[in-house]
Amino acid sequence: MTHASRFPLSFSRHEFAGAFGDLGTDLPLLVGVVIATGMDAPAAFVVFGLLQILSGLAYRLPMPVQPLKAMAAIAIAGKLAPTLLAAGGLIVGVTMLILANTGALAWLARTVPKAVVRGIQVGLGLQLLTLAVTRFLPQNGTTGWILAGTALALILLLRNNHHVPAALVVLALGVGYAGVTWPPKAPAPWGLHLPALPDRWPTGDEFARAALLLALPQIALSLGNSVLATRQVVTDFFPEREPLSVRRIGTTYGLMNLFAAPLGGLPVCHGSGGIAGHYFFGARTGGSAVIYGTALVTAGLFLVGDPAAFQRLVPGPILGTLLLVEAVTVLLLVRDQWHAPLAFLLAIACGLTAAFVPYGYAVALGGGTLVAVVLRRRLPMPALA
């Protein structure tokens, strides 16, 4: 029996609902990078969508693709040139391929304890929670809070409803609100726009700058969240499936970035939060990633001639609500460490470090593992699995 026949894709309404579970993370970063760097919006959306489709087909799981968060944040803050971002993506892609295929990632997976991996996830959940509460939920003032409260109530009310998917109802609410409040003189978001390829290749100087400015902080986050935590969350949600190897995750991570950069796409990764978002809203197969990718390709061709206008289609409070749900879903994964208080405390300490300390993911990954090794040698009991 082939891999595809054992794990067929589904395109049910639940896959459609789950397909947009990571929108609260992706859309602000995607639009933010496009506006800040001046990269071609149709190319960015189309490439990002194609990678979603390929990931769904390859893994047969709700395993979406996300923008590289550290790189995206630095690019938005510094308004970096698209070629510099492309150089960073190529460097990270090649680095991950080397780590995956030399056994370095496998060694890391054997060395880093589960409590530290959970800590990385706690850090991500805290950052997503902070982003939702501080940036998106307060948009539109009192009206925005009412919109967000309504969206959250709908999610809770429809959480276990097998006939009316919550995420689709919330997205419809957002689009309806956008239609009613659309500024009279604001440009319409639709119109055919074909992607444009980058006009030049990064220079040697740009590769050198990107290595220090973009690749170094991103790799630590990627090792923790994109590889180790992603493998763990797939095991959590799909225990019946054969565990994914870190080599496979690292290899597809690397290849995606080598594919994206020459076509004008954003640097990307896999991510435990994305899987959690898709899963929470009902996705159980790679069909959700295929649906999501198709929607992004369509948006790239017909809806993002003006990225700012496109972003108005999904109001900030709606994005914030989706992001809030994803954050809580990721944070709750640490519950399995509660049975071992020392492991739980280590996970929380690593999470706080990852979320709020400079280069926190690198510090949490290295420092947490070192602490775990020391504790294992000094404690006679299996306090840290």
pLDDT for the residue 1: 41
> What percent of the chain is predicted at pLDDT more than 90?
36
Residue pLDDT, tens place only, 29-38: 888 788 888 8
pLDDT for the residue 322: 81
CA torsion angle 308 312 317 323 (round to 10): -60
Is the pLDDT higher at 294 or at 18? 294
317 vs 314: CA distance, rounded Å:
8
Sign for the pseudo-dihedral over CA of 262, 263, 265, 269: negative
61 vs 291: CA distance, rounded Å:
12
Is the pLDDT higher at 144 or at 161? 144
Give yes or no for residue 313 having a pLDDT over 80.
no
pTM of the shown model: 0.80
pLDDT for the residue 266: 94
Show Cβ contacts of residue 327 under 8 Å, excluding neighbours closer than 6 positions: 125, 126, 128, 129, 132, 273
Is the pLDDT higher at 61 or at 320? 61
Burial 145-179 (b: 16+ CB within 10 A, else e): eebbebbbebbeebeeeeeebbbbbbbebbeebbe
Across the chain, mean pLDDT equals: 86
139 vs 181: CA distance, rounded Å:
14
Residue pLDDT, tens place only, 93-129: 999 999 999 999 888 878 888 888 888 888 878 887 8
pLDDT for the residue 168: 77
Residue pLDDT, tens place only, 164-173: 777 778 888 9
For residues 254 and 100, the answer to whether their CB atoms sit within 8 Å is yes
Give yes or no for residue 208 having a pLDDT over 90.
yes
Q: How many residues does the chain have?
A: 385
Res. 381 pLDDT band, cuts 50 70 90: very low
Residue 368 identity (one-letter amino acid): G
Q: Phi/psi zone of residue 103: left (φ > 0), alpha (ψ -120 to 50 degrees), beta?
A: left
> What percent of the chain is predicted at pLDDT more than 70?
95
pLDDT for the residue 303: 82
pLDDT for the residue 162: 62
Q: Phi/psi zone of residue 176: left (φ > 0), alpha (ψ -120 to 50 degrees), beta?
A: alpha
Res. 53 pLDDT band, cuts 50 70 90: very high
Block residue for tokens 């409260």: 149
pLDDT for the residue 282: 86
Mean pLDDT of 372-385: 68
- Mean pLDDT check: name the lowest of 19-33, 263-277, 291-305, 347-361: 19-33
Res. 385 pLDDT band, cuts 50 70 90: low
Res. 267 pLDDT band, cuts 50 70 90: very high
Res. 40 pLDDT band, cuts 50 70 90: very high
